[in-house]
Amino acid sequence: MRDGLTRLSGKPRQDVSRTHTQGGAEEEEEEKTKKKKKKKKKKREMTT
């Protein structure tokens, strides 16, 4: 309950820091994977 309330209130500093770091890293990894996949697809298309 407190988590939900704080989230609605604007997230506590620690929570924000943790979520931001985790989310940022996860997003970066996803972007890298997506880029890698795209590159692979491009290479595959070129080879075909």
Q: What would the pLDDT profile of 1-48 be if each residue is shown by its tens digit?
A: 455 555 555 555 555 555 555 555 566 666 666 666 666 666 667 666
pTM summary value: 0.22
Q: What is the pLDDT of residue 10?
A: 57
19 vs 2: CA distance, rounded Å: 16
Q: In terms of residue numbers, what domain contains 36?
A: 2-47
Q: What is the pLDDT of residue 22?
A: 55
Q: What is the pLDDT of residue 1?
A: 46
How many structural domains does the chain have? Answer: 1
Is residue 11 within 8 Å of 19, Cβ to Cβ?
A: yes
25 vs 13: CA distance, rounded Å: 18
